[in-house]
A and B are shown apart, each in its own frame.
Chain A
Amino acid sequence: MIKPLYIHGMAGISIQPTTEPGYFFDRIVSYAQNPIPARDPDYKALIPPLQLRRMNKSMRMAIFTSQRALQQAGRTTIDAVITGTGLGCLRDSERFVEAILADEGQSLNPTPFIQSTHNMAAAAIALALKCNGYNMTYVNNANSFESALLDGMIYLSEHPDKTILLGAVDELGERTTTFWDMAGYLKRNEPTVPTPLAAGATTGEIAAEGSTFFVASQRPVPSSLGKVVAVETCLETDDSTILITRFLQKHGLDTSAIDGVLMGYNGDSRYDSLYHEVTNAQFAGIPCVGFKHVLGEYDTVIAAALALSIQILHEQHIPPALLVSGPQPQQLSRLLIYTQRRGKNHGLVLVER
């Protein structure tokens, strides 16, 4: 019943220059800090200045990348908007809490409250495109985008003639970053991007932000960029290899059918061993591609990995800076993305040419 979802356009904002035309991780911007804000494109090119001034970073990034994705797909309208965000418009949430703590009882500015609502990015897109269709927002930690992707596949199986915008956005907070640091999530010891993996890894994540949007439908056209065949999430598992085997089996495949894997290595020595075990047990000798060591960690970074996988399938090679292990492939027709965050929120996406 659930059929593949074809991608016709995509765009991403990240801590790398992913908005530059033709950029394919040939040049990696280095950082020595934590957290790392996303690189702002020239938002004015796509968003009227008056509107732009009122938008928080999530809304800006989401509007910009969704417009770019639409341009690439050659569309100006859309039938539905489905998004994922781990933490929503975090900075406005912080601003409003701070206003309450300082001035509760006074008349507070409502804008940060309104714009702290988790569905504001999806709503802003609907408003910009005058889209009366289905509009959904998932907020499920590091599985938020996968939930949106699954809903997109269900929606298109119900409405085979429709075209949807599917996307993800997460922004950095300020105080929240301090809290995550206190909770031990963040890398303190010489945080760098590209983040050293394997033997060089230390504890903690590099916190980043970004937005990635796709235009998708169930109908392939000659200009389609690639397709998503399946997506699955799992809150917790004792054994990732079993999870992956079952996922592939469900779709009539085994590991030999996979030409390359994108793994969520983020340089956190506490959890990267999970990827190592999977690679050794199931994908030895197959190219393994990293993405979080150059994009940082945030709840919806898997959306950027999906865009990357489609680019890899299109270009038929892996940017050397992203090849974690294995050979440069001869031919690539099917990729598997596997990621988790802090041992939870396992996500699997199967992508084909």
Chain B
Amino acid sequence: MSTPTRVAVTGMGAISAIGMDVPANYRSLQASRHGIGPIQLLDSAHCGNLLVGEVGITNDELAQRLEIPAGEAYTRTTLLALIAAKEAIAGIGLADGKRTGLISATTVGGMDATERYYDDYLVVETHRHFIPTHPCGYATEQMAHYLGVTDYVTTISTACSSAANAIMLGARMIKAGLLDRAIVGGTDCLSRFTINGFNSLMIYTDGHCRPFDEQRNGLNLGEAAAYLVLERADAASKAPIAYLTGYGHANDAFHQTASSDNGDGAYLAMKQALEVAGMEAAAISYVNAHGTATPNNDLAEGQALLRIYGTAASIPPFSSTKAFTGHTLAAAGAIEAVFSILALQHQEIFANLNFSQPIEALGIVPQTTLLPAEINHVLSNSFGFGGNCSSLLFSNAHD
């Protein structure tokens, strides 16, 4: 049997509330500086009373940075995606004959335009060129055009684990010999649809989210986009910055929105990621948790970690970075993949902000300050509605 194909990460890009590119995101993480604040740009009845992780530049400015001609119909989801994807592919010529795919994740798609022009479309023609932007797939197709990807283009939408699933598919397609390179990740802008949706679920904190804290009372929403370039390690066009060594996916099959008490889906996803990588749980140096700071998620995820590791003392340092960026939905798995790789590159574990008291039922304590440490393998969790649970395992470029 031939040696299995290794999947290298050769590029990454990110835009979030804590930075317009990867270096800026890293500086915020290193300084434990969050990006959560009142809504500035989005027009919503919730503007005054909700703290979110908003990317502080307008659509027009984003379009200018991308040199997109004025008047063309790009929604915010796509604009954020292009900023991040462009950063990810910098220095990689896509027109080199290698089979390149684009696998993008989104839940919002063009909803921000649809909700803005929903009644406007009916009466005036001014914004009707935005009508085709509604489907999630349209954002990916615009990206494919902009980036020049033609070999394989697809879109995944599985709620808050979407980007992790896009990254996983890219790796699987490379391993299956179907692609040499995959641009993978996710994007979601803030929209009235999601802001009101999560509000209707009464899932927001009244202040800053407190992942894994006994007193946690909900999440902050955020917007972001992040993309990785995955390549066959034996034919990578650049020196790898990390390897994607494992991935796991399972369904909780418990409830439409809630996680099971013992975190079945989360447990199975992590277990499978370790199996794919051929690693023991003890090999993991850091867990970038999903940690939305809702009572339900953190309890279920904590239970799943306890099941993987046996005791609280055996769990490696872990943190949720949601208090920096907010929960960025379909982008979360990708933005946190970038943070996991930053942890590997800089040998630092990022802080779980706003924590003071461990969850009584679990007794597990996240890493609350920046911690320099030897980091070889990072597990990154993403869980979504519909019981959709994914876990990615990133490993050092030099092992």
CB-based contact A158/B156 at 8 Å: no
Instruction: Tell me how far the C-beta of B33 lies from the nearest C-beta in chain A, rounded to whole angstroms.
Output: 31
Cβ-based interface call for B6 (8 A): no
Residues from chain A with Cβ under 8 Å of B254 in the complex? 127
CB-based contact B250/A96 at 8 Å: no
B131's partner among A123, A139, A158, A179 (CB-CB below 8 A) is A179
Residues from chain B with Cβ under 8 Å of A115 in the complex? 256
The segment out of A13-21, A99-107, A314-322 that lies at the interface is A99-107
CB-based contact A119/B135 at 8 Å: no
Residues from chain A with Cβ under 8 Å of B154 in the complex? 138, 140, 143, 147, 233
CB-based contact A108/B153 at 8 Å: no
Cβ-based interface call for B18 (8 A): no
A179's partner among B134, B150, B153 (CB-CB below 8 A) is B134
CB-based contact A139/B118 at 8 Å: no
Identify the interface centre among B121, B122, B137, B144: most chain A CB within 10 Å of its CB. Answer: B137
Cβ-based interface call for A324 (8 A): no
Interface residues on B, range: 35 or more
Instruction: Tell me how far the C-beta of B230 lies from the nearest C-beta in chain A, rounded to whole angstroms.
Output: 15
CB-based contact B156/A96 at 8 Å: no
CB-based contact A140/B153 at 8 Å: yes
CB-based contact A86/B196 at 8 Å: no
B192's partner among A104, A176, A180 (CB-CB below 8 A) is A104
The verdict on A113 contacting B201 (CB below 8 Å), with A96-B196, A140-B137 known, is yes
A127's partner among B107, B135, B387 (CB-CB below 8 A) is B387
Looking across the interface, which residue of chain B has its beta carbon closest to that of A183?
B131
CB-based contact A183/B132 at 8 Å: yes
Interface residues on A, range: 35 or more
Residues from chain A with Cβ under 8 Å of B380 in the complex? none
The verdict on A135 contacting B192 (CB below 8 Å), with A110-B200, A114-B385, A143-B137 known, is no
Proximity bits, B236-279, A CB within 8 Å = 1, else 0? 00000000000001111111110000001100100000000000
CB-based contact B251/A131 at 8 Å: yes
Instruction: Tell me how far the C-beta of A122 lies from the nearest C-beta in chain B, rounded to whole angstroms.
Output: 7
CB-based contact B197/A132 at 8 Å: no
Tell me the chain A residues, 153-199 only, with Cβ under 8 Å from chain B.
154, 157-158, 175-176, 178-180, 182-183
Proximity bits, B120-139, A CB within 8 Å = 1, else 0? 01100000100110111110
Cβ-based interface call for B397 (8 A): no
Cβ-based interface call for B146 (8 A): no
Looking across the interface, which residue of chain B has its beta carbon closest to that of A118?
B157
Identify the interface centre among A122, A139, A144: most chain B CB within 10 Å of its CB. Answer: A139
The verdict on A235 contacting B144 (CB below 8 Å), with A93-B111, A135-B249 known, is yes
CB-based contact A96/B44 at 8 Å: no
Interface residues of A (CB under 8 A from B): 1-2, 81, 86-88, 93, 96-101, 104-105, 107-110, 113-120, 122-124, 126-127, 129-141, 143-144, 147, 150-151, 154, 157-158, 175-176, 178-180, 182-183, 233-236, 299, 344
18 contacts between A and B (CB under 8 A): A87-B134, A97-B111, A97-B115, A108-B200, A113-B193, A117-B159, A118-B158, A119-B386, A123-B385, A123-B388, A132-B252, A137-B157, A139-B136, A139-B157, A140-B153, A147-B154, A150-B178, A235-B144
